[in-house]
Amino acid sequence: MQQLATRREYPEHSKPFRKKAALLSVIALGLGQLYNRQYAKGILMLAFYAYGVFTAVTSLPHALWALSTLGETETHLQKVGKLYKQVLGDHSIFLMVEGLITVFIMIVLVWMYIAGIKDAYQTGKLREEGVQPNTFNQTLSFVMSYRFPHIVLAIPMLGVVFFTVMPIIFMILVAFTDFTRETMPPAHLINWEGFEAFWGILRNKAWSHTFYSVTLWTFIWAFFATVTGYFGGFAAALLVQSKGIRFKPFWRTAFILPFAIPMFVSTLIMRNIFNGQFGPVNQYLGMLGIAKAPWLSDPLWAKITLVLVNFWLSFPVSMLMIIGILSTIPKDMYEAADIDGASGTQKTRLITFPMVMYSMAPLIIMQFVANINNFNIVYLLTNGKPLNGDFQFAGHTDILITWLFKLSMEQGKYNYASVIGIFIFIVLSVFAVWNVRRTKAFKEEDAS
Amino acid sequence: MKPGNKARTTIRLSFSYIALILLTAFCAYPALWVLMSSVRTGDALFSDTILPTAYTFSHYTELFAKHPFGVWYMNTLKIAVSSMILGTILTLLTGYTFSVFRFTGRKNLMSLLLVLGLFPGFMSMIAIYILLNQMNLLNTHTAVIIVYAAGAPLYFLFAKSYFDTIPRSLVEAARIDGAGHMPIFFRIVLPLSTPLIVYTALMTFTGAFTDFIFAKLVLRSPDKKTLAVGLFDMIGDRFSNEFTMFAAGCVLAAVPVTILFILMQRFLVEGLTAGADKG
């Protein structure tokens, strides 16, 4: 509404309202609004300001102290009367999380404070131009209609900030501390350690060897998992959709089966199917007179089994997507090719394949990224086994994310795990940002 | 058509059918195997014959007698349905807002959310664990539901691109007629979005139904466990001792989700290709 206000000549009695309003707002948020005769709004903002100042005074110093020192008193025994009693010290991790939350809230408060000052200034400016400031009801309806997206997004954003952003920041902070199971609070204090954990992984021979090997395997795994799944799905899609095949819905449904069965169930089942001693696969091989294969116990075989099981799990998704894309390829392209006398394979190679590749490229990248992080299949199928004596707490088939999990949940080396987490974070972000920026759904569609 | 051509087509088709049958066997085998294991007598993983010689349903009844399987089932359904409702509403609202409104920071916010969506939630599980501990929510279903629902809006992209296809003139006409944002969303946009709602609901439901790593961390006592956690522990604790019973549990857990997926096939195709550049 403010934007719609018509510009007028400055009346004779115009005063410098805007500076006064803004200044008053700087002193105490809401005063500027009161000065602008927006009483209800002003009182609300004053109350908010009082709350903000109260929070800042009461908890900000504590939060800053907590974040910078991570606690100063350790749990210790203290003489109370004649007895020694255990006195709980500072809990470094709680202090860190609390400090983070307080800092987050303060950032929001400061942002709202600045917005309030801006508002007072704008309203003052309008008054100078002789426009009546909005009444409270007008303000409300303005907020409801023009700030609607912000209000709606606030709820999901709150969830994202609390359960995704803050944990990630926490993880990044932990990488710079000495937080391990041995220094577990509240019995011990945690200290800032700078890049100690980073050097620990990169400079120590045993650790860096593990890190490089696991990283290499992660990428090899992601590559093969993505490629097999994609081309398997492509072949299945072409097979199902090819001319003359009957009962198409039946075949499609049969191939969706691996996708439809909950993954944790099918992976646990696969672990038993490929069991070296009792599993049915080796049993059938035995019946055929072929030697048993060490599906899960030999390093190379275990890796092949992983890719194979992942193929089973993932080709239906690619197939469904490619079937969807095949239906969008214009028929006249094939008709034109027919007239030119192209053979079936030529049509597949020169029309279908490039069209599908063009559409699927972003999805393939996304699958590659998802496979780098494919925790479930590795954890449930091999759990990183077979063990590797040269590695620090990792097996032959462990990928970065399962190694991270083992380091934190099993070994309690939280700082090292966080370093790995940061590394994964950086690798993923590069792929993700690049990919997200170029997908069509993301590009502006303002023309419509 | 020339006769030679016809013969070639027949050969091509026969090869295609052979390939289709082989692939079907490959896809269905694990499901059939676990189904057969669950009705086999004895409790071992190993069996001498491919087909069981004697059938029994005792493993199914044992499952309920020896483990609180019914409780796990109800827990899982409760968690999955609640997170489905909350998560779907949040996802749809997020997608709608990004699709219809233009505001500062919109694009950056979108790419931020998409990037964040790539991180597996448990990468920062320690922090979530502490957070839940502070809110006194450990070992409660509320915690799991909140975390699942809060994570759902990160996958708003399909919702956004679906809403992009709804004509803007429809929304604008309603606005000129004086309808508010919320009535427009619920009365006009949502009724046009059945495939989207089904897909989003299905994905959040199965996500919550099958997740085990986070549930395992938060839910500790046996009466709070979900199916995934219960089944995982069953086979982790006493490996191959109760294999046939575990198989029965797998069948019971997998059947509803599998049927849902098969019935909702056509919605899946649309949802999965949301990120693709359609010509």
Residue A130 Ramachandran class (φ > 0 left, ψ -120 to 50 alpha, else beta): left
pLDDT in tens, B132-154: 877 788 888 999 999 889 888 88
Nearest by Cα to B63 from B248, B225, B250: B248
Contacts of A242 (CB under 8 A, 6+ apart): B16
Q: Look at residue A190 and tell me whether its pLDDT is greater than 90.
A: no
| pLDDT at res. A448 | 35
CA distance B267 to B205: 14
Q: A76-80 and A83-87: which strand pairing?
A: antiparallel
pTM metric for this prediction:
0.82
| pLDDT at res. A311 | 94
Q: Do B23 and A236 touch (CB under 8 A)?
A: yes
Nearest Cα of chain B lies from the Cα of A443 at a distance, in angstroms, of: 9
Q: Do A324 and B250 touch (CB under 8 A)?
A: no
Q: Do A260 and B261 touch (CB under 8 A)?
A: yes
- Chain B residues close to A401, C-beta within 8 Å: 120, 123
| pLDDT at res. A304 | 93
B102 to chain A, any CB pair closer than 8 A? The answer is yes
Q: Do B250 and A269 touch (CB under 8 A)?
A: yes
Nearest by Cα to A211 from A197, A191, A224, A222: A197
Most confident range (mean pLDDT) of A141-145, A159-163, A181-185, B250-254 is B250-254
A–B interface: beta-carbon pairs under 8 A: 285
Residue A53 phi, psi dihedral angles, 5° rounding: -65, -40
The mean pLDDT value for B40-59 works out to 75
Question: Which residues numbered 304-333 in A keep a CB inside 8 Å of some CB on B?
Answer: 312, 316-317, 320-321, 323-325, 328-330
pLDDT in tens, B30-39: 888 888 888 8
B273 to chain A, any CB pair closer than 8 A? The answer is yes
| pLDDT at res. A226 | 94
Nearest Cα of chain B lies from the Cα of A10 at a distance, in angstroms, of: 31
Question: Which residues numbered 231-290 in A keep a CB inside 8 Å of some CB on B?
Answer: 236, 239-240, 242, 244-245, 251-266, 268-270, 272-273, 275, 277-280, 283-284
pLDDT in tens, A90-129: 888 888 888 888 888 888 888 888 888 888 888 888 887 7
The mean pLDDT value for B208-217 works out to 85
Helices (H), B50-167: 58-66, 69-100, 106-116, 125-134, 141-151, 157-164
Could you tell me the end-to-end alpha-carbon distance of chain B, in angstroms, rounded to an integer? 34
> Band of the pLDDT at B92, cuts 50, 70, 90?
very high
Q: Do A324 and B273 touch (CB under 8 A)?
A: yes
Q: Are B38 and B57 contacting, i.e. CB atoms less than 8 angstroms apart?
A: no
Mean pLDDT of chain A: 83
Please give the distance of CA B277 from its chain centroid, rounded to a whole number.
24
pLDDT in tens, A283-315: 888 888 888 888 888 889 999 999 999 999 999
- Chain A residues close to B161, C-beta within 8 Å: 441
Q: Do B151 and A260 touch (CB under 8 A)?
A: no
Residue, of A345 and A309, whose pLDDT is higher: A309
Q: For residue A288, give both structure tokens.
A: 């055929």
Q: For residue A99, give both structure tokens.
A: 């400090």
Say if residue B120 is preceded by a cis peptide, omega within 30 of 0: no
Helix axes A166-174, B125-134, angle to 10 degrees: 110
Separation in Å, CA A143 to CA A139, A140, A151: 6, 5, 9
Q: Do A156 and B27 touch (CB under 8 A)?
A: no
> Band of the pLDDT at B86, cuts 50, 70, 90?
very high
B255 to chain A, any CB pair closer than 8 A? The answer is no
Burial of B35 (0-12, 13-18, 19+ CB in 10 A): middle
**C-alpha Rg value of chain A to the nearest Å:** 31
pLDDT in tens, A155-180: 888 888 888 888 888 888 888 988 88
**CA A144-A148-A154 angle, 5° bins:** 120
CA distance B106 to A365: 24
The mean pLDDT value for B251-269 works out to 84
Q: Are A30 and A113 contacting, i.e. CB atoms less than 8 angstroms apart?
A: no
